[in-house]
């Protein structure tokens, strides 16, 4: 594509907030793409200075209302992922700017990570990897040492049964797990038994979070909810960090009520709560749920298609804030 989407129109400016792999933006190759260096990101001050010239934004992180309002030329804010809680969608709606997300492209990679964390915690892979680097070999090897638990025969509880929750269930069933789920929108999957939230907490050997961050789900897993979880169960979170009260989680782990946890997300990223870092039964990853080469390419391609449609005067797919 050379030039712009409308004949005679000037080149559009696409502002990308983070230094993500740019190969997927080939559909926009005729446009001006403003993107930081790989592994870098524009600061909030830089975004405030750059956004007035932008026709579209690819939002990979926090985009507050005060910055959105400066984007007087914006035709679209394309969210780089399924979650869009970092974007002030209300401010965008007030400005008449559609905000989109990518609900489909992240499904497989996030479900794979959730299963990987379950295996790592259940089989004590993370814990033993740390020990292998720090302890003498004679303290590591031996029949009966470092014993974990198999996933086969365990009950997986899914808090949220959208695309990612359902895909996680499919993989878990293949591993021999029984799946139960709770969702405020209902559970619609033949391999997942619908239960109430109290039943989910009480029955799950592994509880995996796949719900969005909303006012209703913020700190949903608090001290009271964690106390209702099955003794010796594990918690997996690849959704949003703020769904879990991390101090309450640390209490439950330190007391032995929970056997372990696998966490990819945290309330105050990039900071990880020190109490969780100190616990060897907790496997920690730095928000890598969608971070595969294949998924990142598809995510960029998805954003590019949405932006191309918006610049051409078409309604882009997956608008989340009701703008036509």
**Positions marked active-site:** 240, 269, 287
Which residues, 6+ apart, have CB-to-CB distance to 177 below 8 Å? Answer: 151, 152, 153, 154, 155, 156, 206
Report the phi/psi class of residue 86: left, alpha or beta, with left for phi > 0 and alpha for psi in -120 to 50.
alpha
What are the structure tokens assigned to 163, written together?
């695309």
Beta bridge partners of 207: 157, 235
Q: Is 185 exposed, middle or buried (0-12, 13-18, 19+ CB in 10 A)?
A: exposed
> What is the C-alpha to C-alpha distance for residues 263 and 125, in angstroms, rounded to an integer?
14
Inter-residue contact 214 to 165 (CB < 8 Å)? no
């Amino acid at each position: 594509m050379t030039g712009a989407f409308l004949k005679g129109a000037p080149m559009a400016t696409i502002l990308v907030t983070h230094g993500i792999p740019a190969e997927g933006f080939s559909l926009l190759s005729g446009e001006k793409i403003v993107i930081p260096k790989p592994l870098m990101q524009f600061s909030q001050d830089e975004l405030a200075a750059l956004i007035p010239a932008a026709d579209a934004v690819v939002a990979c992180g926090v985009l507050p209302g005060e910055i959105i309002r400066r984007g007087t030329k914006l035709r679209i804010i394309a969210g780089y992922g399924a979650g869009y809680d970092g974007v002030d969608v209300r401010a965008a709606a007030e400005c008449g700017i559609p905000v989109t997300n990518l609900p489909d492209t992240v499904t497989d990679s996030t479900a794979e990570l959730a299963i990987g964390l379950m295996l790592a915690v259940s089989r004590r892979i993370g814990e033993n990897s740390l020990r292998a680097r720090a302890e003498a070999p004679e303290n590591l090897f031996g029949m009966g040492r470092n014993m974990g638990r198999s996933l086969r025969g365990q009950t997986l509880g899914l808090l949220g049964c959208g695309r990612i929750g359902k895909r996680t269930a499919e993989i878990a069933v293949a591993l021999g797990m029984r799946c139960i789920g709770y969702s405020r929108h209902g559970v619609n999957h033949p391999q997942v038994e619908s239960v109430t939230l109290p039943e989910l907490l009480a029955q799950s050997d592994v509880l995996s979070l796949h719900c969005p961050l909303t006012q209703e789900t913020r700190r949903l897993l608090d001290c009271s909810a964690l106390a209702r979880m099955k003794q010796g169960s594990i918690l997996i979170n690849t959704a949003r960090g703020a769904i879990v009260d991390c101090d309450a989680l640390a209490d439950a782990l330190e007391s032995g009520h929970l056997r372990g946890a696998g966490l990819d997300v945290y309330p105050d990223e990039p900071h990880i709560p020190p109490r969780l870092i100190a616990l060897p039964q907790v496997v920690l990853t730095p928000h890598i749920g969608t971070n595969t080469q294949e998924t990142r390419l598809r995510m960029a391609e998805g954003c590019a298609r949405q932006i191309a449609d918006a610049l051409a005067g078409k309604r882009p797919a997956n608008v989340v804030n009701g703008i036509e």
